[in-house]
Structure 1
Amino acid sequence: MDALGGLFDFRLDPHSDVSLTRQLGDQLRDAIAAGTLASGRRLPSSRALALHLNVSRNTVSAAIEQLAMEGYLDVSRGRRPAVAPLSSPSLIGFEPEMPASRALGAISQWAQRIGTSEWPFMEDGRPKPFAPCVADAREFPHAIWGRCLRAAARSAPVRRSAACNRPELQRALLQHLVQYRGVSADAQQVFLLPTAQAAIALVARVVLDPGDIAWVESPGYAGARVAFEAAGAAVRGVELDQCGLAFETSIDTPRLIFVTPAHQHPTGLLMPAPRRRALLQFATRVGAYVIEDDYDSEFHYEGRPVAALQGSDRAGNVFYVGTFSKSLHADIRAGYVVVPKRFVEIFAKAQRHTGQIVSMTLQDALADFIGEGHYAAHIRKMTRLYHLRRDRLCHALMAMGLDLTVSMPDGGMQVAAQLGARYDDIDVCCRLAQAGLTARPLSRHYFTEARASGLFLGFAAWNESEIDAGVAILARVMREMEARK
């Protein structure tokens, strides 16, 4: 047995949760991979190795059979097992040199680009007043929606299809968009995706090459900036004036322009008709595409809603993006994009290749929910309710008597409130979070040097008593900050 020492001096623990066969196999495998047991070397007989290790012969035989099956050992009848030739030099301790950028643990350039972003804003637990862009799930018709889901699930085997987008939902959604948002398209131009952000990112991948210039509003939606940077674009923040995106003042010629013309995110500005026409003419002249994010324009409170920019697009430059997570509630994770006709075929391939597909059951349920009129009815109900909540929040903020300027938006689900110069909005938001309130700093929505300090506050998901309690906390925190100055 002493002759088997050294190379076969393995340590087996009979009290371990790992079987003796597994322990022996692992240690033999490690010795072969490290080159301690060289290629061609014969192992002792199973009887001799079992005696040496004080285990049963069956334990040794089972370990050897496993390693033979994995290709570490050659086993032939009448001969002792031998270490098999190893084809890969890395298995015998050789480590090939690799460029540092591709070493294990290195991430791609795409991952590096998204890794530097502070978006999305991370919040713990359930939303609290005044988290923006949140719908009130308590007012959602859950019973009707549940019935639509159950019916869709029951009919799934019958309606199974290889298509990524249900024609029934494409037609129902398009009919709604034509009637209420003035969209002009065919049903095949409507694509369903998991989120509006997914739609924005997929458009960016389809139309942008690395180095292309993309414009975003400043202040604006950080998700668009992240999607464009991830696609390799050079992102330019374009400042706003009283009419929205002030593109006439920009120097660089863009390939893609991102706008929120119905309710500018986050200021709530409405882009008037002359600026809309000028933007479409400019995009056609320079060969740029436009993403119109119509994220919460279903809710409009003053006058008639302005039709979607896409409906006035005659050159086929506008990608119209929307979402159900805000018009219905956050758990319904589905967005959509209406693409120009010439992009239908390539966009279908891009959707398939990237796997950006919404559950067929969810699509069928949405088709029924919209087709039966429940979607439009819910929008009408929530528009009345959100209108009251907007007024409640804005009037309460104005009555605080503090250095806070409120611009009441014509629609949407949130309000932007400007803070006086003596306030740091990030500091204010941190203090509000400690007091159990959510607000987002306006300064973090800017992508240019010009920045304003303010609070981005949602009102849609909170009832009157919650709004009143939240404003009381906000007033207390700001008065405490004023007292320290």
Structure 2
Amino acid sequence: MLARELAEADFHPRLPMHRRLYESLRGAILSRRLGPGERLPSSRDLAAELGLSRNTVLSALNQLLAEGYVEATIGSGTYVSHAIANAPVPIPVAVAREEARRRRNPGPGMLLSARGALLTGRRASEHVEIQPFAGQDDDYDGFPFKVWQRLQARQWRNARAELLDYDHGGGHPALRRAIADYLRVSRSVNVTPDQVLITPGTQQSLDLCARLLADSGDLAWFENPGYWAAERVLRGNGLQLRPVAVDAEGLAPSEDDFATRAKLIYVTPSHQYPTGVVMSLARRRALLEYAARTGAWILEDDYDAEFRYEGRPVASLQGLDDAGRVIYMGTFSKVLYPGLRIGYMVVPPAIAADMQTGLYDLHRPGQLLMQAALAEFIQLGYFASHIRRQRQVYAERRQRLTSVLREVLGEGIELSPVQTGMHLVVYLPAGADDVALAEECADAGLNVRPLSRYYLDAPGGRRGGLVIGYAYVKSPGIEPGARKLGAVLGRLFAPAPKARAKRGGVAARTAPRRVGVAG
């Protein structure tokens, strides 16, 4: 029996022979082909029968003995353990195979909780994560690789034991100080280093806030349209999301919204994601007043404010907060590179110690050597220089993209505000199907996202548009990509007027053609 199983079993080709014998004997015991109390052949007899060395057989039997499958009595022999008699009856082979097949290919959400099935029923990132609209590769050519490598190497050469441990103090002290200094100057944030917590990124910052500042079932206001990953995190923590409309002045709570008591309010006031609008001062003050009156926590996600191309930088919402209700969040993923996975929070002093405790107990943060290198990167001026260079590069790409789109589609095309950020929105005429248009763009080799998918409410309240990421597109790909996009959208917009040949001394011009809107 064992000889046949060893010959026919589907073992990994590199599995040692003693392990194969162990697996075969163990399977025979569990399936009751070798019953409790049954005596096994001696190691010499097994070795002779199977054509194996005695050491191989002894290794397999010793493993079975150590795990309790067999019992050995000196001078008597080796027997299948009587404890197997009390083990559950094995599942029939056919049933076991079907169960294994089902586990390998389960139906959607079959093995998850109800909340897990809700969150994973649609891979949000595949539909709404903004990517470079033209070209296959992200552009990181502007990143100072040599400087970054040198700073990391220096940290490793001088590594201290405490930098190899978990982070117990909310982040590397030098990095917390550098971030506090940077935010005070560049974003008008009221902050001391003790208020700064280093996290793996904005989603982890949001997760910590949702866990420590709200309970499952609590209400959270959420921008509509809004940032898909924030929506995933808040829903994943059991919060009930209330979509709050966004207009030209940013978050626009209605009287009905103000009548509710939100525990959390998620906003992107300096550059709303994805529409690009900036929250007005009046709206900011109204929101802060509501939070102070109701005890709501405002989660300010300042995800790409470093890249402002026109006018003075917009100050943070946190800088206006006198009641200590705003938690400010930022990340280095946009300004350096996504794989860095270092973000930060500025929390009110009243909860700083508790948030630090929660960060350590829930996330066990680390990467202190990387944090130390980043602190030097900021302190030595490389960070500010990198932002200046990339701001110029992105501004040029943004200008080229908008110029070509207006040239191809006409001056009447409506674009989102583009004074800040790394993407823009092309708004479509009423009734246009932005999902279908995004698919057409994909067929043309363009990667754009339908704006309608960023809304939480019913389809009737959604505005159609295409979200276009331009920052990581290599500059030579901007113009051909924009012209491809114009070719797809051309039927929806009147073309720019073009001069005809002069007749009778008067330059005749083509009238804009009338076009239908795709339904």
Q: TM-score range, shorter-chain basis?
A: 0.7 to 0.9
| Of 61, 71, 76, the match for 2:73 | 76
- Paired with 1:448 and 1:58, the residues of 2 have a C-alpha distance of 69
- Paired with 2:481 and 2:88, the residues of 1 have a C-alpha distance of 63
Shift of 1:384: 3.1
Q: Paired residue for 1:24?
A: 21
1:283 aligns with 2:286: no
- Paired with 2:463 and 2:60, the residues of 1 have a C-alpha distance of 70
- Paired with 1:146 and 1:247, the residues of 2 have a C-alpha distance of 47
Structure 1 stretch displaced more, 219-228 or 158-167: 158-167
Shift of 1:361: 1.8
- Paired with 1:112 and 1:88, the residues of 2 have a C-alpha distance of 39
Shift of 1:379: 2.0
| Of 467, 480, 483, the match for 1:472 | 483
Equivalent runs, 1:338-357 vs 2, <5 Å: 338-355=346-363, 357=365
1:42 aligns with 2:42: no
Contact 1:284 1:315 in 2 (8 A): yes
Contact 2:188 2:319 in 1 (8 A): yes
Contact 1:10 1:27 in 2 (8 A): no
Shift of 1:261: 0.4
- Paired with 1:324 and 1:12, the residues of 2 have a C-alpha distance of 55
Equivalent runs, 1:71-470 vs 2, <5 Å: 71-86=68-83, 89-93=86-90, 106-121=111-126, 128-129=132-133, 136-157=139-160, 160=163, 162-164=166-168, 165-249=171-255, 250=257, 251-355=259-363, 357-401=365-409, 404-449=413-458, 450-462=461-473, 464-470=475-481
- Paired with 1:369 and 1:31, the residues of 2 have a C-alpha distance of 62
- CA distance change for structure 1 residues 130 and 204 in 2, over 3 Å: closer, same or farther? farther
Structure 1 stretch displaced more, 137-146 or 163-172: 137-146
Structure 1 stretch displaced more, 140-149 or 171-180: 140-149
- Paired with 1:379 and 1:59, the residues of 2 have a C-alpha distance of 64
1:71-127: CA deviation from partner (whole Å, max 9, x where unpaired):
1111111102111132794454389xxxxxxx9872234532421344223699x95
Shift of 1:255: 0.7
Alignment RMSD: 3.2
Specify the code of the residue in structure 1 equivalent to 2:489: M
Contact 2:143 2:386 in 1 (8 A): yes
Contact 1:128 1:436 in 2 (8 A): no
- Paired with 1:54 and 1:176, the residues of 2 have a C-alpha distance of 73
SS in 2 for 1:326: coil
- Paired with 1:467 and 1:441, the residues of 2 have a C-alpha distance of 20
Shift of 1:177: 0.2
- Paired with 1:463 and 1:27, the residues of 2 have a C-alpha distance of 58
1:363-385: CA deviation from partner (whole Å, max 9, x where unpaired):
11110111112212222333333
Identify unmatched segments of 5+ residues in structure 2: 93-101, 104-109, 493-514
Question: Taking structure 1 as the reference length, what is the TM-score of the superposition?
Answer: 0.87
1:361-412: CA deviation from partner (whole Å, max 9, x where unpaired):
2111110111112212222333333333322222222222368421332211
Contact 1:117 1:226 in 2 (8 A): no
- CA distance change for structure 1 residues 79 and 140 in 2, over 3 Å: closer, same or farther? same
Specify the code of the residue in structure 2 equivalent to 1:43: L
Structure 1 stretch displaced more, 454-463 or 67-76: 454-463
Structure 1 stretch displaced more, 395-404 or 333-342: 395-404
Shift of 1:418: 0.3
1:190-227: CA deviation from partner (whole Å, max 9, x where unpaired):
11112222211221122121101111100110111111
> Percent of aligned positions with the same letter in both sequences?
36
1:224-268: CA deviation from partner (whole Å, max 9, x where unpaired):
111110000111111112211112342532110000000111111
- CA distance change for structure 1 residues 141 and 166 in 2, over 3 Å: closer, same or farther? same
Specify the code of the residue in structure 1 equivalent to 2:230: A
Specify the code of the residue in structure 1 equivalent to 2:111: A
- CA distance change for structure 1 residues 319 and 356 in 2, over 3 Å: closer, same or farther? farther
- CA distance change for structure 1 residues 86 and 368 in 2, over 3 Å: closer, same or farther? same
Identify unmatched segments of 5+ residues in structure 1: 1-5, 96-102
Contact 1:417 1:456 in 2 (8 A): yes
Contact 2:35 2:80 in 1 (8 A): yes
- Paired with 1:143 and 1:48, the residues of 2 have a C-alpha distance of 66
- CA distance change for structure 1 residues 42 and 436 in 2, over 3 Å: closer, same or farther? same
Q: Paired residue for 2:501?
A: none
Structure 1 stretch displaced more, 258-267 or 461-470: 461-470
Structure 1 stretch displaced more, 396-405 or 291-300: 396-405
Contact 1:299 1:383 in 2 (8 A): yes
Contact 2:303 2:330 in 1 (8 A): yes
Shift of 1:317: 1.2
- CA distance change for structure 1 residues 415 and 356 in 2, over 3 Å: closer, same or farther? farther
1:30-62: CA deviation from partner (whole Å, max 9, x where unpaired):
222223323222234445555665666555444
Contact 2:251 2:267 in 1 (8 A): yes
1:276-302: CA deviation from partner (whole Å, max 9, x where unpaired):
011011011112111000001112233
Shift of 1:155: 2.0
- Paired with 2:278 and 2:517, the residues of 1 have a C-alpha distance of 38
Question: Taking structure 2 as the reference length, what is the TM-score of the superposition?
Answer: 0.82
Contact 2:127 2:449 in 1 (8 A): no
Aligned length: 470
Contact 2:444 2:484 in 1 (8 A): yes
- Paired with 2:314 and 2:517, the residues of 1 have a C-alpha distance of 45
